Chain A
């Protein structure tokens, strides 16, 4: 186990100075929006998340106790549990299995609110997606998807976010595409949204087939992206244009 971390540390050091969070490439005004809790546009959602955490007889709190105990949990996603699961997916499973409630629709407000709240508990911690044989296979699939040209525009993720990060696309700065701050309040959405939502937006943007919510493709891509951003400090929930 220790040697795995050593390897990871070495790999990280080799890339550390090249990686920039999307948060650092935003304008000062938007950086402030994210950094200042009193101004952060996801405040209302976080307040809703706190209520949701304590709501009902079988509340999240009744099993998990204090929210602060989940510090570090969000950093270890996507994970493997009879299949790939990301943080919103894990929250859904808890809701169905342990709270006996019907699953929420994709991107439902209370689901995003809880995801934001749980992710916020890992503020400042490095992203540390877990390893394992099934996960490694899925991450490899994710990397293939990341580097394959798709859509009518025939673009791969890598072409924008690896090769052209820092350049502009239609007036907008192309970020490296790190996933350290998810879920994010995207000004374009005027709401919080998950990484899957953002990825589907990109797929639509290159006029490719948009993979379904929680599809194998989206989850594999999420896992690859988490590994690509491994070691970066989480600052969820984020703000993005």
Chain B
């Protein structure tokens, strides 16, 4: 019986120091998507405060008014972008849910873009613990 190979990695991002995104990289990515620096605003970000495993973290982002798009960014993942979402006319709610990866404890930032060009952002801090044991 051939043994299947397993990949050793505590998380999807095996912590490469040279690829650590900074706050600046996140802000650049946000500006690239939003078209400008968004002002602070209100957005609902549903995510566990304490995440048991950063490989698959359920997250929901919702705005309180219809928007053209929503996007999610991270401060300390190797890359800041998570997802950019665009809503069409048949959209019923300005929200989406997904599962994201978090390389470590950090801040995640959601940004909204309205049809009239306004954009705003909100963030939340998440603590990420990793599994304690390492596989053979």
Contacts and interface: CB of A to CB of B under 8 A. Distances in A.
B52 A27 contact: yes
A106 B4 contact: yes
A204 B136 contact: yes
Nearest to B97: A39
B106 interface: no
Contact of A41 (B4, B48, B56): B56
Contact of B58 (A33, A103, A172, A210): A33
Contact of A190 (B1, B12, B51, B136): B12
Contacts of A171: 129-130, 132
A105 B1 contact: yes
Given A30-B52, A171-B129, A188-B55, A210 B136 contact: yes
B98 to A, nearest CB: 11
Contact of A29 (B1, B55, B58): B58
Contacts of A39: 58
B134 interface: yes
Given A27-B50, A188-B55, A170 B2 contact: no
Point out which of A106, A172, A204, A210 has the most chain B C-beta atoms below 10 A from its C-beta.
A172
A204 B52 contact: no
Interface residues of B, number: 26
Contacts of B4: 105-108
By secondary structure, the A interface counts as loop
Interface in A190-226: 190, 200-205, 210, 213
A159 interface: no
Contact residues on A (Cβ < 8 Å of other chain), bracket? 20 to 34
Contacts of B12: 190
A30 B99 CA distance: 11
Contacts of A29: 47-48, 51, 57-58
Contacts of B136: 200-201, 203-204, 210
A28 interface: yes
A108 B52 CA distance: 26
Given A106-B1, A171-B132, 11 more contacts: A27-B48, A29-B48, A29-B51, A41-B56, A107-B4, A172-B52, A187-B52, A188-B10, A189-B6, A201-B133, A201-B135
Interface of B: 1-4, 6, 10, 12, 47-48, 50-53, 55-58, 99, 129-136
